[in-house]
């Protein structure tokens, strides 16, 4: 990178140059869609104007409880209108929103809350029992607010200052929010790796605003059209997980109707999808699978035609995409990770694909997609040299963009493992094709090194998943004296009573060898039929546990 | 504004936080729309990939001529593919693009080029004769590049280094652009006021990127849908005028097909609209009127159904909007000025209006519109107090946004007249209604102060324009002993051979008095039928000259 001296001119004394602030996203939504509803399950419903009022009331509530700029405020709640209010009120005060991953083990939750230095906590009554034994070890917490659906007494040892709705109702409806620098931290949450403690990832107002503007542009693009003032949005990625991919911010900017489903219960999700006429959701493939497998959907008793689902977190398989399409559901992929805010690629299809039939589109819609505007993405070899865009050269994906976490919170060493020479190393292995589309083939640590070659565990999973009797599959590498590593497959049959024979599956895999798409030694000799595959707290295949259990 | 101390966390040593750079807009367009064409008149056509190559070649060309970061590069050209290339290559080098207003008088052009300290000039052959007598007084200019449609010898005293296409062809196709801070100045141009020399307005990479992201969001919004990869765009606002409202940047980000019409010739504009199937243009009302008045359009020999036109610069009258609608043309208004980059409001209609019939929509589509996201806009009284959103209270419009010029270039005093206490004062008078829609009623200096009341010259023009025999109208205030000021109207009849009588027009105005929409003393007693009304260099009514000629 060369160094140059461009022209920098001073501002006149009385000029203002407003920083990029999350609060402006809310103002914009209220301006264009003041009447649109924010829905919480079958429980509550109010419009954007009231949403804004409630954000102001929450700011009063928090301030009255001594929350100040720079403080960390933790939330343990299901996806709700309350959580959405915290997405805005907490950062708009200059405080930091810690979205606690409630699926972690209690000791891990304690670790994250201590490490984050949480000063105040909003907790749903479902998690009160979880927090009570931990509270003594969280001396920094000055108070707890109880979140619940219906007002009822909750006996607890936590130092509760009151119930969310009751406290909110007491507050004035207009708060004078401060303005401060756009590089102030707005959010903080923890991501679990294969080893060690969870790592804290943080984002600033500037980063979230830029990520939101980017998402809003992509989600409105012709042909994509996931969000607008006229669309209904419901997340099925938890709000504690990378702010539900930042989409609540984007939906608010664009004034979309927002439906929050609370705890993810398949029947409730389907009920809301149908009754609220949801147009757009995002989730990991496992959750889409769960929705499609409900009685109501699989029996076609309800109609989900026109529902658009953005998949991420792990690769969408062609078989799941095809299955969704048979229900009239439009799927599209995006790629990113906690550290990237998260969206850095999305399937904006090349025009000739967009105009083609479903079978042509399917493989494209399962790729990670095209790097989004302002994202610089490379696939590099082990020496950091960019590889050819030929759809074959496989290496690690590294990235630059204006919205990547600038460090792990209070983790100097691991921060420097994530960032090297100005690039964030994703730990994902993939390739770029001639059209610039990224395909993720594996996590670097899940790649199976066999006979001097790299075998992608994801690709093996994709091949196996195409067998009609296979519902779910995981492939991991295990140590092998002769080959270094060899692949082992775990398979959950679609019908547990009629599982396919391992030999039949191996024979099925031979087809891909014959087609030249798989090396001979890539066919797993060890295929095990199981009832279920362990998952991580965010619904991904838990390969660490699978390896342990082998 | 209260002061708080939010949490600021350091980045790890190896992290990168890329600045917002104009070059990223180009990369994004090439990624999603590499095949889409950039068209210049009926003269040339190439795709986005070649567009990017040409930008790199232009950077080599300029560098070879000694242009460095911080230098100012002037362009005098009609709207062209070349100009578009300068929009990118010059700022991407860290240099400043001076878009010279070629409609100014030669002495004013000289003033702006001297004041801007232009170091290098690209000049279309049509303007060589204009520059020759000025060149001796522009000693800073190190060289000129000739832009022309067909290679032919041009005899000139300018120190030409060569012809654009010939020079470009010699350059390598890949340039390593530098990265630098986002607050670097990217563009500079001059705006003419009522008094004094033209004032230099400048924008940074950051401001242009944010303005572009904002425009891209608005222009893709459901119902608006002005731009996408599948749309064809042609500006009819000159590229020297606030970078054609920034739309070439937005069109590039979104990968739209772009058509540049060269010199604005009504027949050529219509030919391109039809042959290139243009979906979207923007212009001042006068130019829309010019297009509608061509033989081809007015006789309906060509069909412009579906053409979308964004109007700004001066208010769109209902009669012109209605006329456009009879041709199937969809009009929409936006508002801004040179100092605001420019877009700060746009007609995103309230839903009940969007769903209503044309007659209901028309008045809304002639309003300035809703402040766009990240724009804070107020209408204030003479004490700087915000007025009620009642659609009636009239005051000066002031604004804050992340993309407003931070000063007039080298004009300390006038910069502090523009900016007061953190607000940019637009010099426009207007009102906000209950829906938050802005209506501009006048320039502060054009308001007619009569009998202790403020009369809006624009409103009088709008009323008069509704008379079927009126083609164009201008109203100014002149000094009056009794009333302070009184209105005088200039009227251009639709048919010069059958002009309406002044008495008939006065009687027509009485109707608005009877309807309670106009005060009795607002009816101009002095209505003059004229052949033409003087215009400024950007096509607005030149009221300064009208007052002088009265």
CB distance A407–B7 less than 8 Å?
no
Q: In terms of residues, how long is chain B? A: 550
Phi-psi group of A61: left, alpha or beta (phi > 0 → left; psi -120 to 50 → alpha; rest → beta)? alpha
Q: Determine the distance in angstroms separating the CA of A27 from the nearest CA of chain B, rounded to an integer.
A: 7
Q: Which of A308, A271, A254, A280 is nearest to A36 (CA)?
A: A254
Query: What digits encode the pLDDT tens for the residues B445-471?
Result: 888 877 767 788 888 898 898 899 999
According to DSSP, the β-strands at B470-480 and B484-493 are antiparallel
CB B477 within 8 A of CB B449: yes
Give the model's pLDDT for residue A452: 66
| Choices 3.40.640.10, 3.40.50.720, 3.30.300.30, 3.40.50.300: CATH for A446-550 | 3.30.300.30
* Identified catalytic residue from A454, A485, A535, A544: A454
Clarify whether A449 is annotated catalytic. Answer: yes
Which helix (H) or strand (E) segment is A275 a member of?
helix A266-275
Q: Which of B5, B12, B59, B378 to mutate to test the interface with A (most CBs of A within 10 A)?
A: B12
Say how far apart CA B210 and CA B179 lie, in whole Å.
17
The residue count for chain A: 550
C-alpha span between A159 and A161 (Å, rounded): 6
Fold exhibited by the domain A23-204: Rossmann fold (3.40.50)
pLDDT tier at A314 (50, 70, 90 boundaries)?
A: confident
ipTM of the complex in this document: 0.91
Give the sign of the dihedral formed by CA B523, CA B525, CA B526, CA B527.
Answer: positive
Say if domain B447-550 classifies as CATH 1.10.3720.10.
Answer: no
pLDDT greater than 80 at residue A116: yes
Where in chain B are all domains bearing CATH 3.30.300.30? 447-550
- pLDDT at position B382 is 84
Check residue A346 and give its pLDDT. Answer: 97
> Mean of the per-residue pLDDT values for chain B?
94
Task: Say whether pLDDT at B193 is over 80.
Answer: no
- Residue B300: how many CB atoms within 10 A of its CB? 10
Q: Which residues of B touch A72 (CB under 8 A)?
A: 7
CB contact set of B390 (below 8 Å; sequence gap of 6+): B431, B433, B434
* CA nearest to A425, candidates A462, A461, A382, A460: A382
At residue A2 the predicted structure's pLDDT band, cuts being 50, 70 and 90, is low
Alpha-carbon distance of B439 to B441, in angstroms, equals 6
Between A351 and A60, name the one with better pLDDT. Answer: A60
Of B476, B534, B525, nearest to B505 (Cα)? B525
A456 — pLDDT class (breaks 50, 70, 90): confident
How far is the alpha carbon of B541 from chain A, nearest alpha carbon, in Å? 30
A4 and B412 in contact by Cβ < 8 A? no
Residues B221 and A86: their CA atoms lie apart, in Å, by: 27
Q: Would you state the structure tokens that stand for residue A432, as one six-digit string?
A: 């770029």
Judge contact between A475 and A461, C-beta under 8 A. yes
Give the helix/strand (H/E) hosting B214.
helix B205-220
Q: Beta strand pairing status for A118-124 and A144-147?
A: parallel
> Which of B16, B176, B406 is closest, CB to CB, to A17?
B406
Three-class SS of residue B412? helix
Helices (H), B227-381: 242-245, 247-254, 266-275, 285-292, 295-298, 318-326, 351-354, 358-365
Residue B454 annotated in active site: yes
CB pairs under 8 A between A and B: 241
- Helix, strand or coil for residue B445? helix
pLDDT greater than 90 at residue A442: no
Q: Which pLDDT tens digit goes with each residue over B309-346?
A: 999 988 888 999 999 999 999 999 999 999 999 999 99
Give CA–CA dist B472/B461, Å, rounded: 9
A426 catalytically annotated = no
In this prediction, residue B194 has a pLDDT band, given cuts at 50, 70 and 90, of low
Domain with CATH 3.40.50.12780 in chain B: 23-204
Q: With 80 as the cut, is the pLDDT of residue A1 above it?
A: no
The larger pLDDT score, comparing residue B546 to residue B6, is at B6
pLDDT at residue A458 greater than cutoff 90: no
Using CA atoms, how far residue A162 sits from A126, B188, B479, in Å, is 16, 57, 68
Contacts of A510 (CB under 8 A, 6+ apart): A523
B-chain residues near A220 (CB < 8 A)? 217, 220-222
Name which of A313-317, B19-23, B528-532 the model is least confident about: A313-317
Distances (CA, A) of A181 to A21, A386, B461: 8, 36, 45
Q: Could you tell me which residues come within 8 angstroms of residue B515 by beta carbon, excluding any fewer than 6 positions away?
A: none
In degrees, rounded to 5, the angle at the alpha carbon of residue B224 between the alpha carbons of residues B310 and B462 is 40
pLDDT 10s digits, A229-285? 999 999 999 999 999 999 999 999 999 999 999 999 999 999 999 999 999 999 999
Residue of A nearest to B421 (CA): A14
A104-114 average pLDDT score? 95
pLDDT tens digits for range A130-162: 999 999 999 999 999 999 998 889 999 999 999
Verify whether residue A454 is a known catalytic residue. yes
Helices then strands (H, E): number in chain B? 19, 26
């Amino acid at each position: 990178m060369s160094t140059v001296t461009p022209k920098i001119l001073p501002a006149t004394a009385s000029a203002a140059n407003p920083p990029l602030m999350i609060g402006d996203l809310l103002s914009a939504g209220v301006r264009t869609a003041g009447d649109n509803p924010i829905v919480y399950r079958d429980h509550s419903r109010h419009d954007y104007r009231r949403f804004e009022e409630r954000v102001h009331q929450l700011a009063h509530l928090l301030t009255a409880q001594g929350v100040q700029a720079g403080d960390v405020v933790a939330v343990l709640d299901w996806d709700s209108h309350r959580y959405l209010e915290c997405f805005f009120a907490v950062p708009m005060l200059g405080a930091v929103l810690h979205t606690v991953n409630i699926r972690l083990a209690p000791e891990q939750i304690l670790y994250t809350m201590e490490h984050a230095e949480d000063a105040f906590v909003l907790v749903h009554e479902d998690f009160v029992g979880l927090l009570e034994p931990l509270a003594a070890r969280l001396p920094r917490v000055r108070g707890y607010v109880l979140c619940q659906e219906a007002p009822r007494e909750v006996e607890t040892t936590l130092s509760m200052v009151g119930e969310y709705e009751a406290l909110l109702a007491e507050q004035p409806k207009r708060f004078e929010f401060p303005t401060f620098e756009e590089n102030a931290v707005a959010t903080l949450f923890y991501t679990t790796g294969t080893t060690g403690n969870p790592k804290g990832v943080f984002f600033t107002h500037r980063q979230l605003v830029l990520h939101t503007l980017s998402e809003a542009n992509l989600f409105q693009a012709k042909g994509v059209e996931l969000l607008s003032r006229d669309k209904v949005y419901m997340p099925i990625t938890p709000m504690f997980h990378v702010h539900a991919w930042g989409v609540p911010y984007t939906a608010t900017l664009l004034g979309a109707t927002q439906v929050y489903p609370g705890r993810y219960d398949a029947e409730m999700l389907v009920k809301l999808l149908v009754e609220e006429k949801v147009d757009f959701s995002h989730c990991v493939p496992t959750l889409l699978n769960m929705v499609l497998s409900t009685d109501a959907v699989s029996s076609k008793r309800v109609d989900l035609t026109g529902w658009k689902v953005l998949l991420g977190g792990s690769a969408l398989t062609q078989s799941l995409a095809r299955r969704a399409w048979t229900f009239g559901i439009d799927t599209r992929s995006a790629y990113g990770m906690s550290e990237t805010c998260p969206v850095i690629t999305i399937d904006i299809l090349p025009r000739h694909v967009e105009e083609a039939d479903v079978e042509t589109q399917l493989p494209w819609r399962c790729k990670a997609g095209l790097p989004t505007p302002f994202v610089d993405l490379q696939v590099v070899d082990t020496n950091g040299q960019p590889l050819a865009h030929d759809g074959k050269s496989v290496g690690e994906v590294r990235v630059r963009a204006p919205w990547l976490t600038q460090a792990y919170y209070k983790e100097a060493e691991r921060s420097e493992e994530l960032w090297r020479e100005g690039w964030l190393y994703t730990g994902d292995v993939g390739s770029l094709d001639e059209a610039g589309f990224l395909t993720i083939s594996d996590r670097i640590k899940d790649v199976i090194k066999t006979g001097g070659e790299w075998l992608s565990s994801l690709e093996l999973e994709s091949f196996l998943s195409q067998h009609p009797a296979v519902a779910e599959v995981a492939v991991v590498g295990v140590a092998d004296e002769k080959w270094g590593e060899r692949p082992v497959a775990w398979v959950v049959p679609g019908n547990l009573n009629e599982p396919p024979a391992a030999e039949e599956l191996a024979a099925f895999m031979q087809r891909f060898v014959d087609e030249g798409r798989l090396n001979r030694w890539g066919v797993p000799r060890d295929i095990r039929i199981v009832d279920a595959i362990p998952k991580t707290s965010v619904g991904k295949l838990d390969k660490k546990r699978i390896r342990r259990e082998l």
